[in-house]
Chain A
Amino acid sequence: MTVFIVKRLLGIAVTLMLIITVVFFLVRVAPGGPFDQDRQVPAEVIAALDAKYHLDDSLPQQYLDFMGDLVLRGDLGPCFKYPGRTVNELIAQSLPVSMQLGVLAMLLALAIGIPLGIIGATRQNSWVDTLAMSVSMVGLSIPRFVLAPLLVLVFGIGLYWLPVARWETWRHMVLPIFCAALPTAAYVARLTRGGMLEVIHSDFIRTARAKGLSESRVILRHALRGGLLPVVSFLGPGFSGLLVGSLVIERIFNIPGMGRYFVEAAQNRDYNIVMGITLVYGTLLMVLNAVVDLAYAWLDPRVKLEEP
């Protein structure tokens, strides 16, 4: 297993290098730089700023500088649009917020989706099942940016229960987390139901019943392990989807997370922020993927860990 981990980490490092390089050249090749966007600024000022940030160096030179800073000092460079701040600072501030949102939302999605899916599977075709699946279908069909204002209207403004912006107390977190979690919960419910259904009809479940085990023991001890495998596989792309969804959530609820900075930075051509955030997203997800693979191998003894 150590071999697996080491090989995986290496693979991740290589892929990240690749991604960084691609994005690096991508953003610089596109028209427009960080300082030409403001029409008020005269050309000499732009030139001076470009020179200060070495944006007038040749591309390969810029690349080497950037990679050098990154690898040797872990320095992602300065923010072009927020003078005086570095990308590292920005990320250090906003990443924990986004992670909180993401992790809590994922946990909530699992906590809602898995039981819902199990109930649907064990009471297949009953009214409970139909209700659960219809609700999850609705959850999948409403975009987060419709759900969010709706929830805000109902719970925030209408009922004065929960505040609707910023991120200070736990009360602030309820709506955004809920909003982020619901569509994912819907998907988890369907996955769980599908996985459980397939396991429930297999031979070894029949054996478990023939042994005289109670139904709850059959489901929880025997069926669940196999039935949840699709959900485990989904954790990787699921979390990735959550992060993407958080772009919307952070904007609507005015949460100072990474996502909010990302689109802005892209539109402002703030290269370093874009690179930094892309790097963080990429690392997060690839590490998560490796963990998921480990978890899957642990759950299903028939699976052998594959080296990347």
Chain B
Amino acid sequence: MNGSGRDARDAIFENIRSSLRRDALDTVAAAALDLRIAHAPRHTRPALRDDLVTQLVEKFQARGGSVASLARLDELPAMVSSYLAENDLPGRIALAEPLSGLAWPAHIERRSDAAGRGDLVAVSVCIMGIAETGSLLFCSGPDSPTTHNFVPDHHIVVLRRGDIVRHLEDAWAQLRQRDGGMPRAVNIVSGPSRTGDIEQTIQLGAHGPRRVHVLMCD
């Protein structure tokens, strides 16, 4: 921060304190607030049904997402293969690195770096589902490039039923336990991209994926 930046910062803090009619907090008060930053009190959480899988599926479908079951993870290549055929898509996918060890057919070209303009399909693993909102949570990193969530037209996502948490707060609790702290981006995705900006008519596929297809497995 340069000299004038420092001036602006100091002036703003001074104005804030003058409006609050006090000086900077003493160490006792500051320590109490630091504790408040680390641990929030328990706020209101909406009551949900007990069956988190059904809750997530219904919410997700209500927002235009589709859901299917995957009996075993090694069935994924066949499922993706038929998805590509059904939707008349080219044999090329942006694939999450952790899935690259599966037995993929030779006619599907795969890449695990950032998705680009030519990528119409991404196949990802989401690290968590959130039942409350029917959402999928992704953490950016080598195993989950952010571009895979937004650039392709079709996003196929593997979600383990055991990774579904109840409320947003439960998702945050898991994030806090991750190694290496917060990822650069946490993306919470609740269905396909949509817009209501023309005459409030809901239209799917605004800028992000037109379709988000979840494959549930155990």
Do chains A and B interact in one complex?
no
B residues in contact (CB < 8 Å) with A? none
A residues in contact (CB < 8 Å) with B? none
